Amino acid sequence: MTRAQQTISIALLLSSLYLTCFLGFVPFSPKIQDEIIPVLPFWSLVSFGSYLLFKLGYGVFTFNDVPEAHKELMAEIELARVDLKAKGVDVGND
C-alpha cells in the first residue's frame, strides 16, 4: 500500500466516523452532540496546523545542530555566488 492510499484510507475512515457521530447514529449526550461534535473538524484543522508550525519552528531552531546540512547549505550558497559572479551579478562579500 502506497502512502497516498494509506492517507486516503485513513481520511475516509475518520470522515465516516465523524459523519456517523454528526448524524446522531452514535448516541451522545445533547451537550456533546450539539456543542462539541460540530466543531471537531475545525478543532482538528487548527490542532494539525499548530503541530506543523511547531515542527517547522523546532526544525529552524535546531538547524545549527545538524552540521552536515549546514555545511551542505553553505556549499550550495557559495556555488550560487560563484555562478552569479560569473554571470556578472554583484552579490556582495558577506
Percentage of the chain surpassing pLDDT 90? Answer: 74
**CA–CA gap between residue 59 and residue 66 (Å, rounded):** 10
**CA–CA gap between residue 80 and residue 60 (Å, rounded):** 22
Which secondary structure element, helix H or strand E, spans residue 30, and what is its range?
Answer: helix 30-31
pLDDT in tens, 6-31: 999 999 999 999 999 999 999 999 99
Structure-block grid coordinates of residue 90: 554583484
pLDDT at res. 93: 67
**CA–CA gap between residue 51 and residue 67 (Å, rounded):** 25
**CA–CA gap between residue 80 and residue 74 (Å, rounded):** 10
pLDDT in tens, 58-78: 988 887 677 888 889 999 999
Among the residue ranges 32-41, 47-56, 61-70, the one predicted with the least confidence is 61-70
pTM of the model: 0.58
